[in-house]
Structure 1
């Protein structure tokens, strides 16, 4: 599993079916790839589950006790406080910020390049977008440093998942991880301290101000370190999954020129050369379908964090005791030919309004149940704005003799080698 987790799980599904029992002494883990059972587990039995303790401890090294990490009443309180900032209405207010960041980034890209570093460029753009939304400032030169630090921390986390315990971070061979954590914490701390140094009436209306207002209203429930934890999670989750999806979307467009042409035609007709705004996003259904199909083929989170039952539960025909572990491999359900014929083919029409319905639970790019991704509306709006503005300016092509990139899981799903694409003016 440590060498190829998704491939191993897919082989077991083919051999044993949609409910597979794994025995890792002293654990019992159930792998669920039946959409109905997956939804029943995550929705109906939500209150009887906690996330896998080892995985959460690894994530907490970077995220502290943010909403991503918290459980029970602590999680409910954080989720309730943060939800308004990520509602569909709140997200609309961020669209001009996303468009401004995208316009500036694309103006700095070359008009033509036979081997453009698309992965790095999109990651920088996604970082700039989330930094503007959180801190009302641009990422600047910190982008390269942050990108490298996130790669180091992600690789370390992915390795540590497979060990029952970790060597302490002061161990000499963990110097790179220590340095990366220091860089990321420093980035967040600098923004928080800069904001606190301003008079409160000069604070801009952004995510940091909303978090600091929670701190000012109730410092016991929202101490300053909790504000920093939420900033870290918003920065990392707010750019990483979006960037990963847009990188795969760019590859899907480059390798499917007919779909790219249809999406561009729709963008040109709907926007007439203008930047997208909150109202025009709804007039881009085919472009949205290309993003949804990318999320099906390459879900940024191909596995949901394992859950553990805190009490006995009944799942379908199965009676399962307390402390059973559950794993939901989203990507396996997304690639199941029963729900998505020719699953490796890129077919945006699967998500057209008149497309055949798939079982609820078969498509879970943002998870489901009460812990569904808090930023799903923001992510979809951001990806649609960036994709539309990119298609207005550029044609995407695979470089000569390029093989399809191999997906690898490094917390999120990324190409095994940094993605380069050929770009040309429209």
Structure 2
């Protein structure tokens, strides 16, 4: 990704004329909206449209906004330098919000996504080599193979092609090939629906201090979705265990089962299952959501689509892309980066809580303060990205003006930066290149721009459908 400027922000935390040398006394909070007696009205506003609420409050109160939602104190931080200070310098003082982790753990168990402290460090250290740039190169044939199979089945000449569903199935197939050396095929539709249902249910549960038991009648869709996903993962694990280790293919599941065989106390089968579930869910959702928005951006910006296609033709000459081709697809990468800026898959990071008092900017904040990081809000800040809602891939060109570190962070930042960021970028670039080799995409007549909706990740409010045709040969 394009390097940014230094971390010195021209618009920093001292919006009220203070500076870190002139700290507010302990017990005072940044400005924020009136909370009333309990502040639960703020919670209701967030539950209806979290990105919209955070944008409104930033506009009214600045880059650090205090929300008093009894019994909690929450601070929304949207200054890039302060965000990096919080997530990098104060990393050891933070844990993820307990309620959010409780919701996520229903599916992810105690995977690296859920773990804290030493268990997290151990898991992260063990799993990191499986997601290194060098290892990712070995997965490129699986990515291109899945794309080639999928695209051969797509129908051109369709003015209403289900692009979102098709890309989600493709992203699922890619991750299943990398994890299990298998293909998704008959599982795709049911798995896609299950992921959607668990995301909607999980997002709703985030805004309540407790949840109704899953056996309640109105939670039938969630129960069924959890069962579908658990069966999918368990089936692959059990099938692999029926093979002799010498016959195991080289994939992520084999790596995890090797850890289990080496130390079953540190890596029980439950831990293997948890990591597989996290890899499956996180591994396909970021790519599927981003590629969905990318096709919309291509359809809505035909000149950018044409420029990217010409670069692909020049670089690849009709070949299937390899890992060695990725550096030559600079403009295509810029279109993906600009898509991630406009529509980050995780528009709001999972809230953190401080375990001890910390000083952030001019504010001395007590232990147990909660912190929310609105990634999309920073990505849409006109101070860093002029005309922020316009699709301009040239923002990420090597010779473009820089922006502060932390202003663009689609995969997070700090020690808990997304483990699969290199994998995701390689996968999206390979699929995007192969897509533009074969197809042209346009906006159907009378279609309006899709509205982004936040349910754990950012997706269109209605399943995206676009006009698909064969790319003109040149």
Q: Secondary structure at the match of 2:47?
A: coil
The one-character-per-residue Cα deviations of 1:288-334 (angstroms, maximum 9, x if unpaired) are 00000000000000000000000011111111110000000000000
2:422 to 354, 377, 388: 377
Query: Residue 95 in 1 paired to residue 140 in 2?
Result: yes
Counterpart for residue 8 of structure 2 = none
Deviations 1:335-392 (A, max 9, x none): 0000000000000000000011100010010000000000000000000000000000
Corresponding residue for 1:126? 171
| Match 1:297 to one of 342, 356, 359 | 342
Q: What's 1:288 paired with?
A: 333
Identify the match of residue 460 of structure 2 among 403, 407, 415.
Answer: 415
Q: d(CA) in 1 for partners of 2:96 and 2:390?
A: 33
What are structure 1's unaligned runs of at least 5 residues? none
- Equivalent of residue 40 in structure 1, options 76, 85, 103: 85
Q: Is structure 2 residue 350 aligned with structure 1 residue 350?
A: no
How far has the Cα of 1:29 moved from its partner? 0.4
Q: Does 1:16 align with 2:78?
A: no
TM superposition shift of 1:176: 1.3
Number of the residue aligned with 1:277: 322
Distance 1:3 1:168 in 2: 23
1:68-217 alignment runs, 5 A limit? 68-217=113-262
Q: In 1, Cα distance between the equivalents of 2:96 and 2:385? A: 29
Give yes or no for the alignment of 1:4 onto 2:4. no
Residue 406 of structure 1: CA displacement? Answer: 0.2
Provide the C-alpha distance between the structure 1 equivalents of 2:245 and 2:406, rounded to a whole number of angstroms.
45
| SS in structure 2 at match of 1:93 | helix
Which SS does the other structure have where 2:383 is aligned? coil
Counterparts in 2 of 1:187-266, with a 5 A limit?
187-266=232-311
For residues 202-261 of structure 1, what are the alpha-carbon distances to aligned partners after superposition, in whole Å with 9 as ceiling and x for unaligned?
000000000101111111110000000000000000001110000000000000000000
Report which stretch shifted further, 211-220 or 294-303. 211-220
Q: Is there any run of 5+ residues in structure 2 with no aligned partner, and where?
A: 1-45
Output the CA distance in 2 between the equivalents of 1:425 and 1:179: 39
Q: How far apart, CA to CA, are the structure 1 residues paired with 2:438 and 2:98?
A: 46
For residues 55 and 110 of structure 1, what CA distance do their matches in structure 2 show? 41
Name the SS of the counterpart of 1:2 in structure 2.
helix
Number of matched pairs: 426
By how many angstroms is 1:179 displaced?
A: 1.1
Partner of 1:30: 75
Instruction: Give the 3-state SS of the residue equivalent to 2:450 in structure 1.
Output: coil
Most deviating of 326-335 and 106-115: 106-115
How far 1:138 sits from its partner (Å)?
0.4
Q: Does 1:341 align with 2:386?
A: yes
Larger radius of gyration: 2
Structure 1 residue 111 displacement after superposition: 2.4
More divergent stretch after superposition (106-115 vs 220-229) = 106-115
After superposing on structure 2, the runs of 4+ consecutive aligned residues of structure 1 that deviate more than 4 Å are none
Instruction: Please state how far the C-alpha of 1:4 moved relative to its aligned partner.
Output: 1.0
Distance in 2, matches of 1:365 and 1:240, equals 13
Residue aligning to 2:109: 64
CA distance in 1, matches of 2:138, 2:364: 47
TM (normalized to structure 1)?
A: 1.00
Q: Distance in 2 between matches of 1:129 and 1:157?
A: 25
Structure 2 SS opposite 1:354? coil
